[in-house]
Amino acid sequence: MVDTKTKTLGEILRHSGVSRRGFLKFCTATASMMALPPGMVPAIAAALDKARRPSVIWLSFQECTGCTESLTRSHSPSLENLIFDHISLDYHHTLQVASGDAAEAAREEAMHANAGSYLVVVDGSIPLGNPGYSTTAGFSNLQILEETAAGAAAVIAVGTCAAFGGLPKADPNPTGAVSVRDIVTDKPVINVSGCPPIPVVITGVLAHYLTFGTLPELDQYGRPKAFYGTSIHDRCYRRPFYDKGLFASTFDDEGARSGWCLYKLGCKGPMTYNACATAKWNEGTSWPVESGHGCLGCSQPDFWDAGGFYNALSIPVGELSRTVSYATAAGLGLGAVAAGINHRSKVEANRRHGEVTVDDLEKTS
């Protein structure tokens, strides 16, 4: 057993049997994912090698634990796992052994001991409708977040629920769910969206923090640009089929078997920004589009409300045929009224017609 409290990341990795070559490979991959120049790889390796574990408090609110699962239930122990293990996870509902008062005590202790320097990771959205909708040890999610974030260096909102409200916020948002950024406004908040997010993106952000001691550059949604800078569509290997106009129309037609574009089957790739197409899932095995299913757009805000998963992106969200029939009914009614008015107006003009004789050709002044 290595003393994880004092050892550096390099020491832990070596102890776990990770070769220098494997470690450098991870650093190269991370640098490339974060769009850093290859020259940075030795610097990243050196920094990570010497990095000491930061204190991390993991808060779970209205969530499904999928984000934690994504990170921890890899099929084989991965470097992502190891880096995750390296951080001092002082508080994590799902993973920690301690419970009840002891658990809360651990959180408070970590907050005091590392005031101003600890990281807060949040998964799940925060209900504002009624504090009772989601509580931990009698405290509402809002209370816990506000209290814990106060002394944090930064907050990482993991998953679309924490980042944008996610599924709980889906229309009609019964709990009044909001995102971390709606509550924490005076601290850097990094959104690592996705339902769930790609594991390497979570560790990539941590690696960046460990390497540079700073947070990565963010896009307008507060997401690391390195991972969310390009859309699924732009990086999709099926893109040439979109450009050629070759689309699968059902999940079992010739187009689907030939691997054509899934736009017609509801793929939301064009509007979705994430690294799935390059990072892939399950140790690089595959990703949704490769498995034959369109992108759901899970890393985008309000993706639950962005129309049916199997409706093409160009199809509006509402019930168009209902709108059309109501409007037609209203139009027929109002049209009849307009027609009536015009008809009456013309009849009136005809009635007021005074016969024009040759005596009426001069203007009367």
Partner 1 sequence: MTGATLERGLNAFKEQVDAPVAAFFSSCVNCGMCAEACLFYTETGDPKYTPIRKLEPLRRVWEQEYTVLGKLKKMLGLARPVTDELLQEWQELLYDSCTLCGRCAMVCPVGNDISYMVRKAREGMVASGNSPADVRSAAERAVRIGSPMGLKYKALAAQIKRIETESGIKIPLDVEGADYMPLLSSMEIINFPEYIEALARIFRQAKVSWTLCSEAFEATNTGIQIGSSDIARELVQRIVDGAEKLRVKCVIAPECGHAYTSIRWEGPNLIGRPFPFKVLHILELLDELRASGRIKTENLSNERMTFHDPCSIVRKGGVIDSPRELMAMVSTNFVEMQDHGKWNWCCGGGGGVSANTNAEALRLKVFKRKKDQIEQTGATKLITACANCRLVIEEGLEEYHVELPLEGLTELVAQHLVEDK
Partner 2 sequence: MNESMDFLLWTRGTAFDVSVAIFIVGMLIRLFEIVSLGRGRDLAAPRGTEFLPGIRTILSRTLPYGGTFKRQPLTVIAGYLFHIGLLVSLLLFIPHIELFRETFGFGWPGLPNPIVDAAAVLGITGLLAALWNRLTNPVMKMLSDSEDYLVWILTFLPLLTGYLAYHRMINPYPLAMGLHILSIELLLVLFPFTKLMHTFTLFLARWYNGAMSGRRGVES
Footprint of partner 1 (CB under 8 A): 338, 342, 345-346, 349-350, 352-364
- 161 with 124: CB under 8 angstroms? yes
> Which residues sit at the interface with partner 2, rule CB under 8 A?
164, 179, 181-182, 219-221, 231, 233-234, 242-247, 263-264, 270-271, 273, 300-302, 305-307, 311-318, 320-321, 323-324, 326-328, 330-332, 334-336, 338-340, 342-343, 346
- 57 with 87: CB under 8 angstroms? no
Phi and psi at 104, nearest 5°, equal -65, -35
- 313 with 263: CB under 8 angstroms? yes
Give the residue with the Cβ less far from partner 1, 324 or 334. 334
DSSP 56-71: EEEEE-B--SHHHHHH
Partner interacting with residue 97 (select from partner 2, partner 1, none; CB below 5-8 Å by kind) = none
Among left, alpha and beta (phi > 0; psi -120 to 50; other), residue 284 is left
Give the residue with the Cβ less far from partner 1, 22 or 335. 335
Between vectors from CA 195 to CA 193 and to CA 198, what angle results, nearest 5°?
65
CA distance 312 to 282: 27
Least distance to partner 1 from the beta carbon of 326, Å? 20
Residue in 213, 208, 214 with CA at minimum distance from that of residue 27: 208
DSSP 126-174: EE-S-GGGSEETTEEHHHHHHHHHHT-SEEEEEHHHHHH-TGGGSTT-T
Least distance to partner 2 from the beta carbon of 149, Å? 17
Least distance to partner 2 from the beta carbon of 252, Å? 19
Partner interacting with residue 101 (select from partner 1, partner 2, none; CB below 5-8 Å by kind) = none
DSSP 292-313: T-----TTSTTGGGSS-TTS-T
Least distance to partner 1 from the beta carbon of 327, Å? 16
Give the residue with the Cβ less far from partner 1, 324 or 341. 341
Least distance to partner 2 from the beta carbon of 264, Å? 6
- 189 with 196: CB under 8 angstroms? no
Give the residue with the Cβ less far from partner 2, 99 or 323. 323
Give the residue with the Cβ less far from partner 2, 56 or 161. 161
Give the residue with the Cβ less far from partner 2, 210 or 298. 298
Partner interacting with residue 318 (select from partner 2, partner 1, none; CB below 5-8 Å by kind) = partner 2
Partner interacting with residue 353 (select from partner 2, partner 1, none; CB below 5-8 Å by kind) = partner 1
Give the residue with the Cβ less far from partner 1, 52 or 343. 343
